[in-house]
């Protein structure tokens, strides 16, 4: 059974339709990149998947094994408060808040989970450092660990590579692939880099205020929409 099924969904703001004709399924283990020009509806779709915005028409349905609070989320850099005075470990631990329940303190298991994810992203030696003192790439890795601490199933990343230098970009792509392939976590990533997306992801969702394409990355590279967006690339 798919983790998420989107059927003929559309979204509106102030009565104006911003994206429509969304119809796709997210299967366990997928690595889906959402591409399109600015203003094409990518971030609106993310809000819909996170349950922050209700479709005007159509539906978004989750499988019985997935609840909205079990989705890890790494927001756009502009939406992240990057100078708050918390340690790296505290930032990662905050990803477990949805499972904290009525308990006022983090459990030993939650701390062990946060530690494991810090090790996964290569920040174990910086766990006591201030988050605001990290480089941009290190902050993104810490936020990826935070998203992992929230879920074993699905992570949504909204342009996680934007603003990073080439080395940090390469490291983030490597980590995302590792999380997907080795940890079995399903990935939905909004990308501003269609060329990288077409080679990193298993599937591509292309939006232009409506769904233009959904399929495998290999199919996208051969499709006319994909070739046009990628500048003729068809490898």
Task: Tell me the per-residue pLDDT of 140-187, one tens digit each, with 9 for 90 and over.
Answer: 999 999 999 988 899 999 999 988 999 999 999 999 999 999 999 999
**Is the per-residue pLDDT at 129 higher than 80?**
yes
Q: Is the pLDDT of residue 235 over 50?
A: no
Do 171 and 133 share a domain, yes or no? no
Predicted TM-score (pTM) of the model is 0.90
Q: What is the rounded average pLDDT of the residues 210-225?
A: 95
The pLDDT, as a whole number, for residue 53 is 93
Determine the pLDDT at residue 162.
Answer: 87
| CATH number of the domain within which 6 lies | 3.40.50.300
Report how far residue 82's alpha carbon sits from residue 90's, in angstroms, rounded to the nearest whole number: 13
Is 36 in the same domain as 97? no
Domain span at residue 194?
1-66+164-235
Helix/strand/coil (H, E, C) string of the chain?
A: CCCEEEEEEEEEECCEEEEEEEEEEECCCCEEEEECCCCCCHHHHHHHHCCCCCCCEEEEEECCCCCHHHEEEECCHHHCCCCCCCEHHHHHHHHHHHHCCCCCCCCHHHHHHHHHHHHHCCCHHHCCCEHHHCCHHHHHHHHHHHHHHCCCCEEEEECCCCCCCHHHHHHHHHHHHHHHHHHCCEEEEECCCHHHHHHHCCEEEEECCEEEEEEEHHHHHHCHHHHHHCCCCCC
129 shares a domain with 17 = no
Chain length of the chain: 235
Identify whether residues 143 and 190 lie together within a single domain.
no
pLDDT computed for residue 152 by the predictor: 81
Instruction: Report d(CA 164, CA 109) in Å as an integer.
Output: 32
Mean pLDDT on 25-51: 94
| Same-domain status, 130 and 176 | no
- Average pLDDT over the chain reads 90
How many of the other CB atoms lie within 10 Å of CB of 65?
10
Tell me what pLDDT residue 101 has: 55
Task: Say what the pLDDT of residue 65 is.
Answer: 73
Q: Is residue 157 part of a domain?
A: no
For 61-77, what is each residue's pLDDT tens digit? 998 777 767 789 998 87
* Per-residue model confidence (pLDDT) at position 30: 97
Pull the structure tokens for residue 176.
């995302």
């Amino acid at each position: 059974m798919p983790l998420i099924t989107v059927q003929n969904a559309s979204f509106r703001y102030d009565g104006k339709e911003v994206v429509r004709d969304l119809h796709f399924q997210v299967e366990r283990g997928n690595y889906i990149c959402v591409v399109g020009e600015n203003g094409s509806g990518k971030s609106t779709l993310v809000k819909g998947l996170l349950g922050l915005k209700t479709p005007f028409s159509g539906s978004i349905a989750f499988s019985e094994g997935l609840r909205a609070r079990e989705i890890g989320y790494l927001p756009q850099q502009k939406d992240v408060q990057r100078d708050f005075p918390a340690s790296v470990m505290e930032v990662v631990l905050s990803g477990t808040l949805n499972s904290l329940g009525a308990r006022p303190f983090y459990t030993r298991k939650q701390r062990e989970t946060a530690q494991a994810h810090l090790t996964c992203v290569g920040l174990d030696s910086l766990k006591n450092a201030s988050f605001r003192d990290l480089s941009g790439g290190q902050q993104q890795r810490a936020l990826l660990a935070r998203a992992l601490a929230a879920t074993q199933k699905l992570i949504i990343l909204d342009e996680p590579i934007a603003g990073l230098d080439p080395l940090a970009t390469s490291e983030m792509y490597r980590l995302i692939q590792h999380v997907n392939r080795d940890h079995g976590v399903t990935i939905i990533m909004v990308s501003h880099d269609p060329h990288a997306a077409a080679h990193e992801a298993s599937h591509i969702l292309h939006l232009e205020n409506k769904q233009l394409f959904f399929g495998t990355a290999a199919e996208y590279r051969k499709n006319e929409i994909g070739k046009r967006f990628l500048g003729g690339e068809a490898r």
